[in-house]
């Protein structure tokens, strides 16, 4: 061999796909003998360099497909003969470094907020040549290749270049187009071949059970318009309809609807029902549909069975055009251990903790993100920004926050590792959530960040700069559990559990709360909302109507899982449509109409939402009538608007002449009654209005003598302006 020829060991490593620096050998190289071009094309029968109008043959110098030849200066392309099929393309190893120094610095720091545009598969032009730039973080791998149909899934064809300072591997594949499927082939730190890995930063993936990533047509995903007004916040009505995209409605043959068809049906329905927001169970790519999206692997890609990314972007835009906000459930706590995913990504515990006492969720058989690692935090914060900015969604509901906050979550003594101070708090997760909230506040102002957090951890909705976690709202799991426990009891026993309905007001203003009746309450043998209600059919429906009315008039934003508004009888099944045929029954359509009217009442009357998180927006009128299971309270508006009186009777016994204290005498109009005939009730009430008396009661200067229907909630407000 001539002096310029690499040594035998380097050539052997290259053709065996073990060489960690393929750019040192492949592509054009200046030598004392002139410009040498070296390409590795396993399976090719001939390779020519096309330059200056000439086709210069390259010599086969290794039977594994290594070709080499001397070429003049200038741009060149390759003509490759694949046993009679000719391909012409640029040489991937002729292109310069792709990622800039600033990108590498920010990636190393873990502060690259545009990481979705930096790593992964990015269609682009380099030196006026169109193709795809691939980049992946795998600092402990000894070789990384991108493989796909375009190179016969052969890891020898496109080994990547390591940018040492950030642990990132990169390559530009010329002439590759959106739609190409690909994975990464890696050798671990000891040279062991790992299972093919999907791209953690892919914008698109194959439909499961296929597991490859897809080069997305990034240009086809519309950029959302700029928002000039802040999004809804604590002083405005927020009523969320929680939806599982695959089972809200299904098409012929029980096939899930795509984003386009789902939008045709779901958006007008949610608008007609008066909800302010749609919240989707996680739509990020996940390998197993039975996880409902709560075990995602593609934190940047919409779930493929519903359609390409541009269709999801269009759904969000259509929601906004209709006046609906969009919230996505988002899971930064854990991920599944599928071999094509993040687990042992580069042959080491890269995204997860190495110690199972820190890194394994035995409840869910999942791996826990190592949030003490800056690059892992960067992936997750980059994902949050990706959905909020690229798709224009209005908020994220962060799943399983309680599991993130405590190192001993669902662990027995000896099964967890204390923090550096010996405590149980997960300081790294706390810091991550604070950083997440600060970044979103600075970069995506007005977007909502909502916590599913089931403990009494302090300051969940306090600003991060004040020591809190920085969420806008927290799901009030305690309210949900207490009130459902109460409602499941036969009315005769409710008197002994009166405090379950009032206890929530003891802490209702300690955080900014959202009241959730979520999917968690209608799965795993829990039945349905209507199924939890006791009594005969009439009482079950009356109980549900009274309870929903109690929820909509209670302080706190609202969330209802799909099916609750039609009183679906069976437990939710992610593989079946909701039972829309139930609406042929007036009892079910009555509950639907009730929810629609509650939403409109809630949005129209400031007293029902303006001071949701402030104690001055709420006053008890009757808190202690356990014997009759009656509750009465006032909702107040900060701007001097009309007060609203709510009276709930959770027994099947109507109460005639029931006295309730009120702030002012005069005529009070009954503006809502869950016992109205239009909802399926007995139509008992106060004939539209009742005259207040100047006789004080319950600590108020005036009072009303009311007819309170059985198992019902009524709402009244002063008639005078």
Q: Is 399 a catalytic residue?
A: yes
Query: Could you tell me which residues come within 8 angstroms of residue 328 by beta carbon, excluding any fewer than 6 positions away?
Result: 279, 280, 282, 283, 284, 387, 393, 395, 396, 397
Q: State which H helix or E strand residue 111 sits in.
A: none
Evaluate the CA torsion angle 403, 409, 415, 420 in order and state its sign: positive
Question: What are the C-alpha distances in Å from 347 to residues 107, 162, 417, 448, 627?
Answer: 20, 16, 24, 37, 65
Which strand ranges, in their side-by-side order, compose the sheet holding 666-673? 618-625, 630-635, 644-649, 712-718, 666-673, 689-692
Helices (H), 165-208: none
Strand 360-361, strand 66-70: pairing: unpaired
**455: closest CA among 425, 432, 428?**
425
> Would you call 533 helix, strand, or coil by DSSP?
coil
Q: How far apart are CA 124 and CA 627, in angstroms?
A: 72
Do 119 and 202 touch, CB atoms closer than 8 A? no
Beta strands in 110-180 (DSSP E): 120-126, 129-137, 143-148, 161-163, 168-174
Q: How many CA atoms lie within 13 A of 642 on its CB side?
A: 17
C-alpha 108: how far from its chain's center?
26
Q: CA 297, 428, 509: angle at the middle one, nearest 5?
A: 95
Cα(128)–Cα(77) distance, rounded to whole angstroms? 13
Residue-by-residue DSSP string for 9-32: HHHHHHHTT--S-GGGTSEEEEET
Give the contacts of 686 (CB within 8 A, at least 6 positions apart).
670, 706, 707, 714, 716
- Complete DSSP assignment for 365-410: TEEEB-TTSHHHHHHHHHHHHIIIIIS---EEEETTHHHHHBTTTT
How big is the chain, counted in residues?
Answer: 721
Q: How far is CA 660 from the centre of its chain?
A: 44
Helical residues (DSSP H) of 211-308, grouped into ranges: 259-273
Pairing of strands 557-561, 239-243: parallel
Catalytic site residue from 452, 472, 597, 637: 452
Q: What is the DSSP string of 576-593?
A: S---GGGGGSHHHHHHHH
Catalytic residue at 310? Answer: no
Cα 422-423-426 angle, rounded to 5 deg: 115
Q: How far apart are CA 246 and CA 243, in angstroms?
A: 9
- Contact assessment for residue 182 and residue 154, using Cβ atoms and an 8 Å cutoff: no
Share in percent of the chain as helix, strand, coil (round to 5): 30, 30, 45
Pairing of strands 204-205, 161-163: unpaired
Catalytic residue of the set 185, 346, 399, 482: 399
Quickly tell me which residue has 């791209």 as its tokens: 199
- Active-site residues, by number, are 399, 452
């Amino acid at each position: 061999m001539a002096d310029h020829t690499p040594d035998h060991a380097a050539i052997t490593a290259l053709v065996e796909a073990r060489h960690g620096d393929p750019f040192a050998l492949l592509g054009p190289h200046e030598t004392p003998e002139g410009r040498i071009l070296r390409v590795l094309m396993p399976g090719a029968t001939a390779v020519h360099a096309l330059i200056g109008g000439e086709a210069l043959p390259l010599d086969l110098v290794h039977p594994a497909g290594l070709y080499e030849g001397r070429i003049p200066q200038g741009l060149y392309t390759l003509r490759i003969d694949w046993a009679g099929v000719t391909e012409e393309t640029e040489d991937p190893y002729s292109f310069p470094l792709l990622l800039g120094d600033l990108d590498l610095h920010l990636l190393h720091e873990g502060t690259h907020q545009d990481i979705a545009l930096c790593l992964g598969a990015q269609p682009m032009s380099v030196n006026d040549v169109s193709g795809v730039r691939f980049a992946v973080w795998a600092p402990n791998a000894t070789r990384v290749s991108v493989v796909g149909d375009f190179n016969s899934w052969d890891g020898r064809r496109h080994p990547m270049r390591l940018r040492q300072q950030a642990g990132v591997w990169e390559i530009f594949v010329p002439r590759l187009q959106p739609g190409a499927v690909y994975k990464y082939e890696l050798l671990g730190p000891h040279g062991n071949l790992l299972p093919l890995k999907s791209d953690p930063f892919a914008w698109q993936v194959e439909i499961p059970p296929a597991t490859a990533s897809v080069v997305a047509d990034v240009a086809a995903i519309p950029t959302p318009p700029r928002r000039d007004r802040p999004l809804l916040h604590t002083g405005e009505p927020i009523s969320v309809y929680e939806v599982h995209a695959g089972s809200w409605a299904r098409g012929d043959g029980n096939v899930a609807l795509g984003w386009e068809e789902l939008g045709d049906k779901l958006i007008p329905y949610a608008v007609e029902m008066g909800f302010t927001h749609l919240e989707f169970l996680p739509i990020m790519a996940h390998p197993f549909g039975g996880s409902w999206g709560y075990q995602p692997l593609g934190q940047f890609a919409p779930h493929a069975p519903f359609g390409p990314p541009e269709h999801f972007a269009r759904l969000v835009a259509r929601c906004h055009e209709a006046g609906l906000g969009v919230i996505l459930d988002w899971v930064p706590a854990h991920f599944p251990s599928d071999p094509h995913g993040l687990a042992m990504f580069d042959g080491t515990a890269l995204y997860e903790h190495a110690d199972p006492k820190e890194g394994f969720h035995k409840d869910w058989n999942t791996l826990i993100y190592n949030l003490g690692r800056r690059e892992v935090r960067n992936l997750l914060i980059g994902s949050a920004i990706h959905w909020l900015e690229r798709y224009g969604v209005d908020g994220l509901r962060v799943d399983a926050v309680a599991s993130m906050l405590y190192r001993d979550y669902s662990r027995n003594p000896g099964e967890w590792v204390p923090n550096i101070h010996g405590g149980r708090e997960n300081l790294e997760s706390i810091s991550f959530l604070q950083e997440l909230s600060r970044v979103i506040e600075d970069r995506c102002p007005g977007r909502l960040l909502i916590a599913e957090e089931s403990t009494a951890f302090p300051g969940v909705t306090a600003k991060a700069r004040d020591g809190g976690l920085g969420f806008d709202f927290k799901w009030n799991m305690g309210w949900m559990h207490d009130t459902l426990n109460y409602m499941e009891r036969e009315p005769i026993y409710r008197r002994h559990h009166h405090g379950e309905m009032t206890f929530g007001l003891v802490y209702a203003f300690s955080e900014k709360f959202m009241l959730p009746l979520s999917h968690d309450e209608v799965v795993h043998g829990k039945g349905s909302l209507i199924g939890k209600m006791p009594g005969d059919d009439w009482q079950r429906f009356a109980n549900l109507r009274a309870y929903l009315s109690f929820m909509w008039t209670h302080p706190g934003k609202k969330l209802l899982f799909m099916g609750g508004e039609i009183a679906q009888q069976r437990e939710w099944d992610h593989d079946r449509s909701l039972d829309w045929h139930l609406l042929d029954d007036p009892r079910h359509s009555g509950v639907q109409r009730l929810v629609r009217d509650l939403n409109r009442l809630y949005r129209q009357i400031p007293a029902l939402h303006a001071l949701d998180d402030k104690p001055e927006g709420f006053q008890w009128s009757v808190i202690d009538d356990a014997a009759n299971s009656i509750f009465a309270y006032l909702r107040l508006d900060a701007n001097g608007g009309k007060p609203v009186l709510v009276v709930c009777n959770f027994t099947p016994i109507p109460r005639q002449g029931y006295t309730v204290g009120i702030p002012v005498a005069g005529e009070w109009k009954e503006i809502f009654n869950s016992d109205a005939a239009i909802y399926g009730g007995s139509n008992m009430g106060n004939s539209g209005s009742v005259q207040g008396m100047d006789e004080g009661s319950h600590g108020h200067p005036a009072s009303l003598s009311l007819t309170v229907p059985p198992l019902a909630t009524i709402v009244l407000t002063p008639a005078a302006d």
